Structure 1
Amino acid sequence: MSGAFQYRPKFVDIRVRPPKPDEEQARDDDVFALKPGERACDHPGCRMAATARAPKSRDMLHEHYWFCQPHAAEYNRNWNFFAGMSEGEIRARREDEAMTGGRPTWEMKAGRRSREAAAFTANFARGSGYADPFSMFGGGGPESRPQSAPSRRLGKLERNALADLDLDEDAEGPKIRQRYTELVKRCHPDANGGDRSAEHKLQRVIKAYQTLRKAGMV
């Protein structure tokens, strides 16, 4: 081949200047910036857009967390539908699934203001009443007793956060703040003569408090 047709590169030095710190930070901010209509991931400290949802707990299947794909996968790996249930409760839940398929059922009984309920009350007052253990006619059964107030329903993240703070699930805002302040003072290296052995516990405490604040519990 003649020299006239040989390839001769025009540029030989292709070195690339590394970005400056402010340029690198601007690039990172642009990568994690949310576009219009996107929502942030509910995982504490995550700046990515949420693209998947996950139920908060087995009692709140219609209320969801919104996660990015990596955190949704992590949440699903750790999901345990029967977490916190005793063996008897698990067995009863499985029997209910086998009997009704988990679908709701309705009781076939008279209302409390029906004619049958009035007749039952009148007969019982005269001493001629009959046993109604299942409250089929609106009186005398377990449902006639006052019901206790429902307990607070928490998601998995909130329960884990309270456990990291060594608190019960019924802990309120003032108690949470008091416990958080106590643990931070106890685990901080300045309170231990520079010893950083409790630093991991400190990080978990801070993350747990941020989770509870995001859930509106503090």
Structure 2
Amino acid sequence: MPRAFQYRPKFVDIRVRPPVEGETPEPEADVYTLKPGERPCDHPECRKAATARAPKARDMLHEHYWFCQPHAAEYNRNWNFFAGLTEAEIRRRQTEELMTGGRPTWEMRAGRMSRESAAFAARFGTGQGYKDPFGMFGGGGHSARKPEPERRKLGKIERNALADLDLDDDADGPAIRARYTELVRRLHPDANGGDRSGENRLQRVIRAYQSLRKAGMV
């Protein structure tokens, strides 16, 4: 071949060198090796880096699994926040989400026996601060009103149970029993010619009454 037509590579020759007999081939680089600062996906046998997090359970929203993007999508498709709840509990949660965003709420006032209330009343009773002749601020004036009795403290389960029975928070045992008997007689299918349209409400009434009995209110 003439000299002018000889092959002269202009750049680095990238042709693969054939393996030499008896030579141990170099191990291939692991494309799934985690970089510093990356965490592995929590899905079993997955070697990819985790890039998304997902809550572990409905009552563990602040604890998370870490998944790669495909496994995070699979986890989200199978996630059901309301799994295991009754229809009444689902409706109650949806109402709370609309009213308060699902966050707990507290009364914006100090209790009558709190430290702040005691210090406030002491200042008025000893002549410090403003005069309160009518006892409007708990200072004990000549025409001070008698303190109202504190309402009994109810938990969320008891308040919801009373609401299912259409009763106020101050309902006593006889009133609860009377209301329960009235609703059972009204909603039972035998009292409606076999009509089962009120059966769901009847089940809520029975569960509410059992919760109140368990709480010692009946």
TM interval, short-chain normalised: 0.3 to 0.5
Bigger proportion of residues as helix: 1
Per the normalisation by structure 2, the TM-score is: 0.42
